[in-house]
Structure 1
């Protein structure tokens, strides 16, 4: 073995030994229990992120969902609100297009009769409704109650719609095909707590006049 090989071999042994000393063992000075470890951040300087919406004690659901989960542990706020938005758009479009039969399973009988009467009145007057659903700006929780085994949740909707009502001659009675209206509605959905049917039923509607966006 030549001299160069011996030198490199000795150097490799020395480097491995130093790495072992650094990674495999601790230093001779052990901090006592009251000494703060190096590079730690003082507790008073920690600034936890505050969520935009309060969360429940589980940390996974908004605070408003917590009492609902006490009544029905399977409740999921995001899943419910997403379903409510889909139902809202589907029912609004069915009402405007005279297709209430398509959404009848999702309507309380009283709500269905009210919608049906409005559609019949429109038809008897020779009027036609045109609707272009632009999108939902927001769907927010507005309240809940549990009574006689039924869970009811109220949601406030803000949506953008183009709505036009025409007479028999095609003349515009209400609305503007070139204008997007901001529509506010407050709807209440319900389901039996012990039901295995995942669908909610629309049991109450309300709203205000549209605002021009």
Structure 2
């Protein structure tokens, strides 16, 4: 499974020159409070997180970013006309799903090219701790209800963009025998996460890296 995903990533990068993304602390390492949800909810097909593509800029929609993020977004657009707000958000949603699913499954090879060093180490430590305790996460991202830019900034040539996600996650933890010790797939966890991505727009490397994640209070 890991080899297939890596090959798919390589093919997309070489053939389409799309952008990639990733993350630090997930905010989903502990089982949060659960709320009822539709157990038959259908998870829509997962696009590749490289959807941070660089087509000609379109005007962002009304809900593309918070007013406080406006100056930062405009600064990035002025410095990098290839930056596209709508495509960035769609890519962020795809990355959110891919990163969480890889972390839940412990697929560190999938995460490695998408995160910076600190983020990767955080994921690796959490995966190792789970394995030591004989625990397995059987989580499912039901739906991303909303994604928008909460913050944006440009410092010299380094752009940072924080996306705010509102999503429902069905969260289950199993022991080594496969028994459920926490959570339920018939329930959904409502989450509000803040994920920050960074890219040097002067670099020939088109990739965005997820450098930090947090839960919105």
Residue 111 of structure 2 corresponds to which residue in structure 1?
103
Q: Tell me the distance in 2 between the aligned counterparts of 1:112 and 1:148.
A: 26
Partner residue, 1:199 = 207
Matched residue, 1:179 = 187
Where in structure 1 are there 5+ consecutive unaligned residues?
1-57
Report how many aligned residue pairs link the two structures: 152
**SS at the partner of 2:165?**
strand
Q: How much has 1:72 moved relative to structure 2? A: 2.1
Question: For residues 175 and 107 of structure 1, do their structure 2 counterparts lie closer, same or farther at Cα, with a shift above 3 Å needed?
Answer: same
RCO higher in 1 or 2 (8 Å CA, sep ≥ 6)? Answer: 2
SS in 1 for 2:138: strand
Query: Larger Rg: 1 or 2?
Result: 1
User: Secondary structure, in 3 states, of the residue corresponding to 1:75?
Assistant: coil
Which digits, 9 at most, give the CA deviation of each residue in 1:4-50, with x for residues without a partner? xxxxxxxxxxxxxxxxxxxxxxxxxxxxxxxxxxxxxxxxxxxxxxx
Q: Look up the match of 2:53.
A: none
Contact 2:75 2:153 in 1 (8 A): no
Using the size of structure 2 for normalisation, the TM-score is 0.64
Per-residue deviation, residues 66-121 of structure 1 (Å, max 9, x unmatched): 23212322211001111111111100000001112112111011000001100100
Change (3 A) 1:59 1:95: closer
Counterpart contact for 2:198–2:210, Cα < 8 Å: yes
Structure 2: distance between partners of 1:118 and 1:148: 34
CA change 1:71–1:174 in 2 (3 A) is farther
1:4 match? none
Distance 2:157 2:92 in 1: 20
TM-score norm. by structure 1 comes to 0.66
Partner of 1:61: 60
Flag structure 2 segments of 5+ consecutive residues without an equivalent. 1-56, 62-66
Query: Which residue in 1 is equivalent to 2:167?
Result: 159
| Distance change (3 Å), C-alpha of 1:74 and 1:124 | same
Question: How many Å apart are 1:126 and its aligned residue?
Answer: 0.3
Mapped to 1, the partners of 2:114 and 2:122 lie a distance apart of 14
Q: Which residue of 1 aligns with 2:125?
A: 117
Q: CA deviation at 1:148?
A: 5.0
- Paired position in structure 1 for 2:79: 71
Alignment partner of 1:190 out of 198, 209, 213 = 198
Partner residue, 1:138:
146
